[in-house]
Structure 1
């Protein structure tokens, strides 16, 4: 077990976590249908996790980084990975019994984020937009010989909606997709166009603001679609004529530059819907303010800022949101082996990983820090509202001093990084107190960097965790 976390506890009466957001009828099962668990990107799950006992961890080498691992109602896990050889995306169908790969399907290469964000629909099909500008629904089937295959069940061309603002060129690419509660598939692009594909296949989009960019995923809730650019947070919905419109916009402090441990100059967060009533009345992101980044909480309906409170040094992670509570994990100094082409230089150029995790509760009088710890999380944490535990990975250096060495590589996603002596442990944290229940080494090293990817908790207390070269399947011992 690693070093105990240093805690700062504020006086508080902890309430039960939840509720989880309402079930989106166009999504697969709650907790396993999107990278962040649900359409609202709450990073919660109604399923119990592996627990704080001993674990068995099987690693599956895929020759690809696998940031998105989802599971449909049929029980079959699916992964959207980026191959190391050519940086092109591929979809994997996994055996639910052991995590072995049953089938693969190559997709057309697009932008870096185009090989990351996808979801499973209510028919267990993976939905994504590939580099050809097509909205794909990818199904899986078993042949008469018993072998499995993946195939494109439907394809919708959305090129005009994505690049219509480019003056006839191909200047833009879809970075993420998510369904709303009417069946429209919303999307955002790298260059801050946003829109949706209707159920009839027609696509509509608008440009949020010239010169802005989107570097994270979108989230959808009954009140609309939330997207954060590198300048502002937006809520969108469809107007009376069936076109996308901006409901409200809130600019935030983007700071003087990108920080080390971030992939863009701006917020590192996918917007998170949460709340104690229906699970969506608040919307949260982090800003990029100098010294300490703030957690920003807004009223979903009006855009009114509920609070701004200093949280962490810097983060590339989406907050966890559940009930009145938000959990933010720091990634300041994390040594990414690759950066998007327009990321720019960071200030400072590099830094040791500072880590740290914070719980902040929303109250009638604003927001209050409940606890902080020093956990060096190396994955996007996931909260199980069933057991009250936060599941993540930690990264520790085996060198004297314990800080991971900063990386400066830019050779591509999944290639080598600095800190070759670092090791990674599976960690379980008590969400009430912030204390580390257990931290277990599972044999991962920098070769299998978890690279701030999300862990997915599946039924049966199974957790899947992507790395730069494949994925772990973790089960109770």
Structure 2
């Protein structure tokens, strides 16, 4: 395909404490590459809708092919775990079992992952690290059971909640809280922590890499942490331009990126985030391990709440500027301007010996976190149709984008309108070639 992501020497590293590569985290893997080794739906694949009465930002698939969803119920905003069998749809909206968790903040419980035993690992609203397993009883019914692995109540302040969660390559479970606490639970169950500078918050998830680094993006800076003497230690801090205020279409005043590890040889040489500069936002690429800035290049996306796709020497950035979120987290601050049209935009930038080089810009109005399939060579996402000034009757299409050119290869209209709004959530490409996309009211399945 003439692009670095197709090179055999640009693997996506597999974390031994995670489930299958591409399906164990919201962003595909520990490095948050937003890639998958699986192929997506073929053109003309059937579309199904699972109404759950809940928004579903996290959809994951384990080694047993079961799909686990972490959703937030519309009634009461209660985080709820759902279990699905792609090959045997259940009687109520497709769910075979469900389990409510203790309620936290709006963002608490959004980020979770499947471990190497296919258990959902999440911190609930009671500041407990829990592992949710699923099993089928003698009566044939599926059940979800939660086991407390650690209590974070002693290190997470009252009123704070965990927003990011990821294991490192030694099995430590790292976390970051909204109010700027970073720490990990060791294999022995001991919990250690450090605090970011006052005023810095964390609104997105965190990432880890084989070299031992754990990347955290606060509302002021990008960090990489490591382990020293059994405790977290800051390796480096790189401030970025956070602009004068939160932008419409973002959920915090600062970067909207979960940091993305990528690289052409090991797959973790670089880190990428998008800043929040006032005039034109920039894709920032830094060297993992040192924090040295490789390049900063303006991208015409207005602003982005999405994690960039990163693979080989290429980065893809989608715009969320102006996206009509129905609510924002407490403390996010006012947006300036208060609202804006959703014009969209998707850009590709390559890292070369001469710096970052823009390759193409597309006007695609991506309404979900795009996912690049390394198997079929397409970028999979949902597109919002209708005028730039969004309305409740806007429709949505499932589309596949050519990463070489930015052109749309195929488009499949979805049934309904606002009920299928994916709210810039991440989709899941499953082992059977399906796409599962969380929406404001449940799940849309293509294939």
User: What is the TM-score of this pair, normalised by structure 1?
Assistant: 0.90
Deviation at 1:396, TM superposition (A): 1.2
Given that residues 248 and 336 in structure 2 are in contact (C-alpha distance below 8 angstroms), is that contact kept between their aligned partners in structure 1?
yes
Given that residues 135 and 143 in structure 2 are in contact (C-alpha distance below 8 angstroms), is that contact kept between their aligned partners in structure 1?
yes
1:49 aligns with 2:40: yes
Aligned length: 439
1:220 aligns with 2:208: yes
Deviation at 1:209, TM superposition (A): 1.2
Deviation at 1:111, TM superposition (A): 1.3
Q: 3-state SS of the aligned residue for 2:436?
A: strand
Residue of structure 1 in register with 2:317 after alignment: 328
For 2:5 and 2:156, locate their aligned partners in 1 and report how far apart those are by CA, in whole Å.
Answer: 42
Q: 3-state SS of the aligned residue for 1:205?
A: strand
Between 1:440-449 and 1:274-283, the stretch displaced more is 440-449
Change (3 A) 1:16 1:271: closer
Deviation at 1:21, TM superposition (A): 2.1
1:450 to 422, 427, 433: 422
1:318 aligns with 2:312: no
- 1:203-258, CA deviations, whole angstroms, 9 ceiling, x for partnerless residues? 0001011111001000111231101000000000111x111010000000000111
Change (3 A) 1:209 1:462: same
Please identify runs of 4+ aligned residues in structure 1 that moved more than 4 A.
none
Gaps of 5+ in 2: none
Change (3 A) 1:55 1:13: closer
Residue of structure 2 in register with 1:208 after alignment: 196
1:466 aligns with 2:443: no
Q: 3-state SS of the aligned residue for 1:101?
A: coil
Q: 3-state SS of the aligned residue for 2:48?
A: strand
Given that residues 349 and 360 in structure 2 are in contact (C-alpha distance below 8 angstroms), is that contact kept between their aligned partners in structure 1?
yes
Q: 3-state SS of the aligned residue for 1:159?
A: coil
1:234 aligns with 2:223: yes
Residue of structure 2 in register with 1:404 after alignment: 389
1:383 aligns with 2:383: no
CA RMSD of aligned residues (A): 1.2
1:107 aligns with 2:101: yes
For 1:440 and 1:29, locate their aligned partners in 2 and report how far apart those are by CA, in whole Å.
Answer: 28
Residue of structure 2 in register with 1:144 after alignment: 138
Deviation at 1:115, TM superposition (A): 2.6
Deviation at 1:146, TM superposition (A): 0.3
Given that residues 88 and 115 in structure 1 are in contact (C-alpha distance below 8 angstroms), is that contact kept between their aligned partners in structure 2?
no
User: What is the TM-score of this pair, normalised by structure 2?
Assistant: 0.96
Residue of structure 1 in register with 2:85 after alignment: 95
Residue of structure 2 in register with 1:3 after alignment: none
1:183 to 159, 171, 175: 171
Residue of structure 2 in register with 1:305 after alignment: 293
For 2:5 and 2:183, locate their aligned partners in 1 and report how far apart those are by CA, in whole Å.
Answer: 36
Residue of structure 2 in register with 1:63 after alignment: 53
Gaps of 5+ in 1: 1-11, 164-169, 406-418
1:361-372 aligned at under 5 Å gives the runs 361-372=350-361
Residue of structure 1 in register with 2:129 after alignment: 135
Deviation at 1:404, TM superposition (A): 3.4
Residue of structure 2 in register with 1:269 after alignment: 257
For 2:296 and 2:164, locate their aligned partners in 1 and report how far apart those are by CA, in whole Å.
Answer: 27
For 1:347 and 1:175, locate their aligned partners in 2 and report how far apart those are by CA, in whole Å.
Answer: 24
Given that residues 162 and 178 in structure 2 are in contact (C-alpha distance below 8 angstroms), is that contact kept between their aligned partners in structure 1?
yes
1:25 aligns with 2:16: yes
1:150-169 aligned at under 5 Å gives the runs 150-163=144-157
Deviation at 1:466, TM superposition (A): 0.2
